[in-house]
Amino acid sequence: MDRVDRLLALVAELRAAAPEPLEPKALAARLGVSERTVRRDLELLVHGGLPVRTDRGQGYVLTPDPAPPALSEAASLTGPLRDTLSEAVRTRRIVRLAYDDQSGHRTFRDVEAHGLVTAPYAEYLVGWCRMRDGPRMFRLDRIGAAYLSGRGAGARDLDDLLAALRIPLPRPPAESSPRGPAGATRARAWTLDRVEHVRSRLREATAEVRSGAEGAAALRGVLGHLAEWTRWQVAAIRAAATGDDPVLEGRRPAFPPEFDAAGPELPYETREQMIQDAMAPRSLGELARDLSAVLEAVAHWAADCDDALWEEPLPDPRPFGAPGPPRPLADLLAGWRGPLAHIEWHLDRLTDEPPVPPGADDEEAIWIVDRCPLQP
């Protein structure tokens, strides 16, 4: 192994043995090097600050890290923000946040702190928001201040927390077993939180473009596509669940007669062009409100529908072709091929520029959504 790997292995061996000492001979044998190399590596590590002491006749001992001092409630307001959040996670306590959303609106909320996540673009506090009564991720750069309360947070089911925060990928699962949480109450709560998470992402994407960021044309094309396809997906799922006729929610524009009459027989490319043409006269705000109205209707229906619908697998209506294998309602709405995953798939790809139709003027072109997991 190279020197960096050897130093990593050396520290790992010492930590695994602590508080018991390890003789140089034993360390050398485990690492496959000479005792001289072990001693030289340890000198380097000790010089760099590794707390190792030598016990005569016994070997080397890694001194355990001292427990961090308890952070008082007053100190949580005056010290580094990250220290306060780390302490809340470590001690499972409730932290009160002054949190600014994308538009700059500030709220004050109690959060049960469960973890800190570092991503390439930001750091997040993962927790259970008591104001929203659900799991949330809070960007650290939007937390203005944090106060560590004396109240314990208790334990949460980590699987449920991560399931509610994950972004489902639009691809088939490895196996055919249901992916939504079991039980009507949990499945309903999980789905409603997924709806709210997607609505929040839509608000942020729209607010970012309105604040002057690039990408307005791409967002317009995506929102028009999503409004109509989500409207259809939700109506089809509800009809499959209840046996009633499909109900198309939101503010649907006027389409040519053949748009609805042709049904699945209308080619995807033709249907998408008709959608973009019908949505073109609308402003960005109108498109966002249309999609938001569809999602609001989803939330109302999911909150009020019969518990029995969450218990048994239901037919999986597909945009093209025969229905898919039966799946639970939570999975149909929020799983890998459902309307919520479809929305997030396109939001994740807003940085990609869709093609401009041939012969169109760049300033007046309709941006076409040419890649979509719903395509046949």
Q: What is the CATH number of the domain that holds 241?
A: 1.20.120
Please report the pLDDT score of residue 360 as a whole number.
41
Q: In terms of domains, do 238 and 291 share one?
A: yes
Residue 264 lies in a domain: yes
Q: How many domains does the chain have?
A: 3
Residue 118 forms beta bridges with which residues? 123
For the cut 80, the answer to whether the pLDDT of residue 154 exceeds it is no
For the cut 60, the answer to whether the pLDDT of residue 4 exceeds it is yes
| Element holding 124 (H helix, E strand) | strand 123-129
| pLDDT band (50, 70, 90) for residue 175 | very low
Q: In terms of domains, do 78 and 55 share one?
A: no
| Element holding 164 (H helix, E strand) | helix 158-165
Q: In terms of domains, do 82 and 101 share one?
A: yes
Residues 284-294: tens digit of each pLDDT: 999 999 999 99
Residue 371 lies in a domain: no
Residue 199 lies in a domain: yes
Is the separation of the CB atoms in 202 and 194 below 8 Å?
A: no
ω into 19 cis (within 30 of 0): yes
> Measured between alpha carbons, how far is 249 from 234 in angstroms, rounded to an integer?
8
Residue 316 forms beta bridges with which residues? 324
Residue 129 forms beta bridges with which residues? 111, 134
Centroid of chain to Cα 363: 34
Residue scoring higher pLDDT (186 or 37): 37
Q: In terms of domains, do 7 and 77 share one?
A: no
Residue 302 lies in a domain: yes
Residue 145 lies in a domain: yes
Is the separation of the CB atoms in 340 and 333 below 8 Å?
A: yes
Q: Residue type for 57, please? A: G
> Measured between alpha carbons, how far is 144 from 99 in angstroms, rounded to an integer?
6
SS3 category, 2: coil
Is the separation of the CB atoms in 295 and 287 below 8 Å?
A: no
Question: Which tokens belong to 190?
Answer: 């999980």
Is the separation of the CB atoms in 113 and 88 below 8 Å?
A: yes
pTM: 0.51
SS3 category, 151: strand
Q: In terms of domains, do 39 and 131 share one?
A: no
Q: What is the CATH number of the domain that holds 48?
A: 1.10.10.10
Q: What is the CATH number of the domain that holds 150?
A: 2.30.30.520
Domain encompassing residue 215: 184-348
| pLDDT band (50, 70, 90) for residue 339 | very high
Calculate mean pLDDT across residues 60-81.
80
Residue 95 lies in a domain: yes
